[in-house]
Amino acid sequence: MSSATLKASMTCEIEPRPGALRLAYRIRNGGETRLGLFNRIATLRADGTQDFAPANAYINLDGRTLRIRKQVLPVPPDLKMAGRQLPGLTVLDPGKVYDEGWSVEIPVRVCEPLQRALLALKSAGGSVVADRPAEADSVELAIGVVEIDSGWRLDPVSAAHPDIFQVWPPGQAAAAQQILHERKELSPPIPVLDYRIVRGN
């Protein structure tokens, strides 16, 4: 898929394999402006340090479509948030290409913090767990991309990750995000573990 506004193009690989779903994408910056890819999602290791592994992605099941996203997530209308941490940016200079690939274990377990927070809000004291068997017969891979404004400040997230950046002001960058995405139909479908609410006794 390509974007005329961004002058960026993306190609994807979405391939079920024995025990895993293989995902890969390539984004080419065909314009004259630096791009930022919102593709660096942080998780915490046991020792409290941040991990920005390629496999870190937001995953949710929408009907029978498995959506795998590396982007600034939209906030659901019913969820009130004082602020949010944006994914880290990878900078892609004009004329350059960025490649990334990873595998997800099958059954694929959903992992979408805003959806989980909304379910927890509505659960009346229940717990939200991702263990409900379901199936997906299509997969959509989406990457959030933004043209980097010359007035924005880019700061490395840490000395350990000098090529991953936080952007300021974050609100402007989030509002300017555009999504590159590609979808693939699957036959046979793949198993998924979706969210469910577990009620207490």
Query: Which residues neighbour 118 within 8 Å (Cβ) at sequence distance 6 or greater?
Result: 76, 78, 79
Q: What is the mean pLDDT of each run of 10 residues along the chain (201 residues)?
A: 71 96 97 96 90 95 97 82 82 97 97 88 84 97 96 94 95 95 96 89 58
> Mind listing the pLDDT tens digit for each residue in 76-116?
777 776 667 899 999 999 999 999 999 999 999 999 998 88
| Separation CA 96–CA 34 (nearest Å) | 10
Asked whether the beta carbons of 68 and 141 are under 8 A apart, the reply is: yes
Asked whether the beta carbons of 29 and 8 are under 8 A apart, the reply is: yes
pTM for this predicted structure: 0.92
First to last CA, the chain: 49
Q: What is the extent of the structural domain holding 26? A: 2-198
Query: Which residues neighbour 168 within 8 Å (Cβ) at sequence distance 6 or greater?
Result: 152, 153, 154, 155
Asked whether the beta carbons of 53 and 164 are under 8 A apart, the reply is: no
Number of compact structural domains in the chain? 1
